[in-house]
Amino acid sequence: MRHFLRDDDLSPAEQAEVLDLALELKAARLADRVPESPFGARRAVALIFDKPTLRTQVSFSAGVAELGGSAMLVDGSLAQIGTRESVPDVARVLGRQVAAVVWRTYGQERIDAMAAYAGVPVVNALTDEFHPCQLLADLLTVREHRGDLAGQRLTFLGDAACNMGHSYLLAGATAGMHVTVSGPDGFRPVPAIVGRAQEIAATTGGSVAVEPDPVAAVTGADVVATDTWVSMGKEDEAAERSAPFLPYALDAALLAHAKPDAIVLHCLPAYRGQEIAADVIDGPQSVVWDEAENRLHAQKAVLVWLLRAAAAGGAS
């Protein structure tokens, strides 16, 4: 059974296949064509949220509906998965009732356990360590605006020790991009993730770098991405995070070091005047709204891809 739990669950060829499929589904939607449903007898998809959500809930709900399925929202605070009953027990129950499980939760080990016992495809809708669905949308957006992903220079500014930094490393390396992440001391990526990204980049022609200096990191970039400095679950650290992150704020002066036609990504929610200036996110180089829309198309594509793999007996 294939799942999508972290960015390197897809090989370079599989990642390209999913992005191609996302473009096909987007074109079909724009042409008002209804795609063939990937669902068999089971049409419900469980969407479980232990953390706040807006774009993920809306895009998965709309995407499942557009594919002919039914999105079943599960409130994580009521379900209390892992507290009221174990993750494996919940997985076994859900796997007998739905076609797939989409889960936004905390530690990666929770969604790994769900995948181990569910018997249906499981999709990571964000954990503390990875945000692979967001990266598919980001790569789709880069591809639309800048063409082939291989060889593009992508820089991420901010909390590189968190899910977005890790996912940029793995997904970017898989796409053959030159990925640089830049954040202050104490907010650098986990060495094991950097090592894994380097292994992938060695096979795709990409590269991976951790650059403390934000100006050096942005210089020559084709794509500049940033994210809130206070990730979900770390709100108590908001005050102490402000000072060290200030040099990494993406304003017009810092963006000027990137290529003149560089594009800007932000996964949202955005805090203007903190991690990104208003005249950058609302400016001509921002493709943030395309990026937000592409969550729908990328997630439809990964669901279709996983359900087809499940129907074929787990082979891709």
Catalytic-labelled residue, pool 267, 274, 297, 299: 267
- Of the residues 134, 152, 274, 299, which is catalytic? 134
* Exposure b/e, 152-165, CB count within 10 A at least 16 = b: bbbbbbbbbbbbbb
Which one of 6, 178, 266, 295 is the catalytic residue?
Answer: 295
The active-site residue out of 166, 178, 227, 299 is 227
Catalytic residue (choose from 6, 104, 196, 241) = 104
Q: Is 44 exposed, middle or buried (0-12, 13-18, 19+ CB in 10 A)?
A: middle
| CA 234, 239, 241, 245 torsion-angle sign | positive
227 catalytic residue (yes or no):
yes
Which position among 131, 178, 196, 266 bears the catalytic label? Answer: 131
For the chain, strand residue ranges (E) read 44-49, 70-75, 100-104, 122-124, 153-157, 178-182, 207-210, 223-226, 263-266
**Chain Cα centroid distance, residue 275:** 19
Establish whether 6 is a catalytic residue: no
**Residue 4: helix, strand or coil by DSSP?**
strand
For the question of residue 196 being annotated catalytic, the response is no
Distance separating alpha carbons of residues 107 and 118, to the nearest angstrom: 17
End-to-end CA distance of the chain: 9
134 is catalytic: yes
- Catalytic machinery residues: 104, 131, 134, 227, 267, 295
